[in-house]
């Protein structure tokens, strides 16, 4: 198992319940595919450095997790098909 970090930005029009539901959805993807969530850090609503699709702010969340090398590909796929995700990145901090 390798260590990974993912940061994703959700659309600012979402309410707190929808943000929590999306975070739980992504945690579920990690845990259901053999991963282990270490930490979830919700940074809240912040201003973006630049506008993305005419949106100037978003809900930031950082998740640290351990997983096999195939899981980030599945998580990336889920991020891409989720309409409420503006941007995301998955990195391996060990490299």
CATH classification of the domain holding 19: 3.30.70.60
CB atoms within 10 A of CB 10: 21
Give me 14's structure tokens.
């979402």
Q: DSSP letters of 31-88? A: HHTT-EEEEEEEEEEEEEEEEETTEEEEEEEEEEEEE-TTHHHHHHHHHHH-TTEEEE
Q: Does pTM surpass 0.85?
A: yes
Q: Which residue range forms the structural domain that includes residue 30?
A: 2-91
10-31 pLDDT, tens per residue? 999 999 999 999 999 999 999 9
Query: Is the pLDDT score of 86 beyond 70?
Result: yes
Instruction: Give the number of domains in the chain.
Output: 1
């Amino acid at each position: 198992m390798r260590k990974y970090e993912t940061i994703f930005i959700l659309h600012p029009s979402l309410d707190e319940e929808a943000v929590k539901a999306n975070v739980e959805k992504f945690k579920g993807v990690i845990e259901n595919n053999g991963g282990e969530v270490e930490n979830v850090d919700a940074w809240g609503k912040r201003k973006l450095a630049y506008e993305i699709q005419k949106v100037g702010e978003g809900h930031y969340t950082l998740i640290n997790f351990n997983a096999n090398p195939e899981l980030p590909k599945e998580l990336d796929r889920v991020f891409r098909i989720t309409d409420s995700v503006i941007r995301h990145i998955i990195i391996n901090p060990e490299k």
